[in-house]
Amino acid sequence: MPELWGVLNVTPDSFSDGGKYLEPGAAIDHGRRLLQDGAEVLDIGGESSRPAGRAYGEGFDEVPAVEEIRRVVPVIEVLAGRLGARVSIDTVKPEVATAALAAGASVVNDVRCARDPALAKVAAARGADYVIMHNRGRGEARSPNTDYGDVVEDVLAELLAAAERVERAGVPRASVWLDPGLGFAKTAAQSAELLSSLGRFRKTGYRVLVGPSRKSFIAELAPNPGGEPPPVDDRLGGTAAAVAICVAAEVDAVRVHDVFVMRQLIRVTQALHEAGGGAR
């Protein structure tokens, strides 16, 4: 069964829960709830990565490293340092990764496809795992970012090239994860194609993490009966469908907001799969 990575955004402007957990006390309380609900890793970020476009307007605002550190380190110190949770730091800044790993995080989640070798060097120095999420530009789902010859082949090739950069920086292959980056620099149809092709990513031998939770591609693939896109909080069914596909593909982890529901879904999906003797 895939691991459950719970999303914890310590930001004012993340697409789903921006502002809810900006204060350390609120973030720590939510992290505790995610752990109680079954999260095996807490993915903590202090800077939104929402891409610009129709769904999210102008996209994310860059945050100075000192502010990002101020947001995440007190939360990590409690959740990882005191409670012993496994924590992933969602950042693209080497300074933030350094502070977060010192505070107790053990994974770096890089949403810019390993563009900065300094970030991987920080992870290597601390013996941390490294997640490479596929992305182009600032993640905008429009041309030229979405101009793929074959989206599966191109995303795979770009991720494997990024993995080579990360390994050259000193991160062992066994510590590298690949994330196809659903919704980032992809149309809804391209995200769906990647979801249906997760076996290709598994065959690379790298561990695979997928983050479909509440994303705008769900709203585009399944608009409301009146034709309008469902708001973020009404995308649970689409998220569940995507996570079920991830279970069937035997990915190593899924990154989600609704940990309790997705834990139940994963366990039931796995039990049904096993009761049926596996794929036929």
Q: Which of helix, strand or coil describes residue 186?
A: coil
What is the reported pLDDT for 13?
58
Q: Would 64 be classed as within a structural domain?
A: yes
* Mean pLDDT for the stretch of residues 157-179: 98
Lowest mean pLDDT segment, chosen from 39-43, 162-166, 272-276: 272-276
Q: Would 279 be classed as within a structural domain?
A: no
Q: Would 116 be classed as within a structural domain?
A: yes
- Note the helical H segments in the chain: 24-37, 65-76, 94-103, 117-126, 151-168, 188-195, 198-202, 216-221, 236-248, 259-275
Main-chain dihedrals φ then ψ at residue 130, nearest 5 degrees? -140, 115
Model pLDDT for residues 89-112, shown as the tens digit of each residue: 999 999 999 999 999 999 999 999
Main-chain dihedrals φ then ψ at residue 207, nearest 5 degrees? -70, 150
Highest mean pLDDT among 137-141, 166-170, 269-273: 166-170
The range of the structural domain enclosing residue 246 comes to 3-274
Q: What is the CATH number of the domain that holds 114?
A: 3.20.20.20
Q: Which candidate, 184, 237, 209, places its Cα nearest to that of 41?
A: 209
Instruction: Convert 253-265 to b/e letters by CB count within 10 Å (16 or more is b).
Output: bbbbbbbbebbeb
What is the reported pLDDT for 21?
76
Q: Would 193 be classed as within a structural domain?
A: yes
Q: Which of helix, strand or coil describes residue 112?
A: coil
Model pLDDT for residues 207-230, shown as the tens digit of each residue: 999 999 999 999 999 999 999 999
The tally of domains found in the chain comes to 1
CA angle, residues 261, 267, 268, in degrees to nearest 5:
90
Q: Would 280 be classed as within a structural domain?
A: no
Enter the pTM of the model: 0.92
What is the reported pLDDT for 190?
98
Q: Which residue has the higher pLDDT, 272 or 260?
A: 260
Beta carbons of 108 and 123 less than 8 angstroms apart: yes
Active-site residues: which are they?
Answer: 215, 255
Q: Would 201 be classed as within a structural domain?
A: yes
Q: Would 115 be classed as within a structural domain?
A: yes
* Mean pLDDT for the stretch of residues 254-261: 97
* Mean pLDDT for the stretch of residues 63-85: 95
Residue 280 pLDDT > 50:
no
